[in-house]
Amino acid sequence: MKKIETIVLVADLAGTAVFAAEGAISAMQGGLDLLGVMVLSFAVALGGGVIRDLLIGATPPNAVRDWRYPALAFLTGLLTFILHSEARTLPAPLLMAVDAAGLALFAVAGAQKAMSYGIGPFISTLMGTITGVGGGVVRDILLARVPMVLVADIYASAAFAGAVVLVVSRRFGLSPMAAALLGGAACFILRVAAVTYGWQLPKVTHW
């Protein structure tokens, strides 16, 4: 396996575990039963990657071709359900940082994979963004609420920024590993800073 594929695989699997746990937590917060916990673990963990793979023509998507993805999402969701008393006591800043890490992993893996499939640089940054936020959008659609990503302070923008840094770094000749680290760091730092300092995007206030 080429180095670049290993980076995408590791980032994808790590992001999958993080987002599966988050999906399980949202399901329990929403009062869903064990099946609902499983479904949301799957949807949040695999939704973004599946949408990316369908869009770039990488079918069947990884999550369907490779049993490790759904198995990992399944096990993480089950574990979070079993350990829910412990999960409940996790401090909010820790959860936020873990979520930002998952976002960074997916944004970088998504943009990198799109480039590997011959997608141009501009659209590869969009594919990275969709990979990062897609799972959360699917979760919010299933919970019948406006996707957090549409109303939240800088979230999709952080994924977009990370993907842009990765794509530009590759263009300037950086190695896949260096570009992935740089893009991931950009996304993570921007997201954490936005939450910490309450940064907002401009908005039209009175329509």
Residue with tokens 């039963």: 33
Residue 90 touching its own copies (CB under 8 A): no
How near is the Cβ of 141 to its own copies at its closest, in Å? 6
Query: Which listed range, 11-19, 147-155, 173-181, 190-198, lies at the site for its own copies (CB under 8 A)?
Result: 147-155
Q: CA-CA distance, 162 to 181, in Å (whole number)?
A: 10
Residue 203 touching its own copies (CB under 8 A): yes
Of the candidate residues 13, 100, 101, 119, the single one contacting its own copies (CB under 8 A) = 119
Query: Residue 181: what residue type?
Result: L
Tokens of 81: 């359900």
In the complex with its own copies, which residue's Cβ is closer, 181 or 193? 193
Q: Kindly report the CA angle at 61 between 56 and 64, in degrees rounded to 5?
A: 175
Ramachandran region, residue 60 (left: φ > 0; alpha: ψ -120 to 50; beta: rest): beta
Query: Residue 176: what residue type?
Result: P
* Residues from 159 through 188 that contact its own copies (CB under 8 A): none
Q: CA-CA distance, 117 to 161, in Å (whole number)?
A: 21
Determine which helix (DSSP H) or strand (DSSP E) holds 75, and give its type and residue range: helix 68-82
3-class state of residue 67 by DSSP: coil
Cβ atoms 163, 107 nearer than 8 A: yes
* Residues from 12 through 71 that contact its own copies (CB under 8 A): 27-36, 39-40, 50, 54-57, 59-61, 64-65, 67, 70-71
How near is the Cβ of 181 to its own copies at its closest, in Å? 25
Of the candidate residues 16, 76, 157, 169, the single one contacting its own copies (CB under 8 A) = 157
Q: Report the greatest alpha carbon distance in the chain.
A: 54
The residue count for binding its own copies (CB under 8 A) is 57
Query: Residue 138: what residue type?
Result: V
How near is the Cβ of 88 to its own copies at its closest, in Å? 7
Residue 137 touching its own copies (CB under 8 A): yes
In the complex with its own copies, which residue's Cβ is closer, 10 or 64? 64
Contacting residues toward its own copies, per CB under 8 A: 27-36, 39-40, 50, 54-57, 59-61, 64-65, 67, 70-71, 81, 84, 88, 117, 119-120, 122-123, 126-127, 137, 140-147, 149-151, 154-157, 200-204, 207
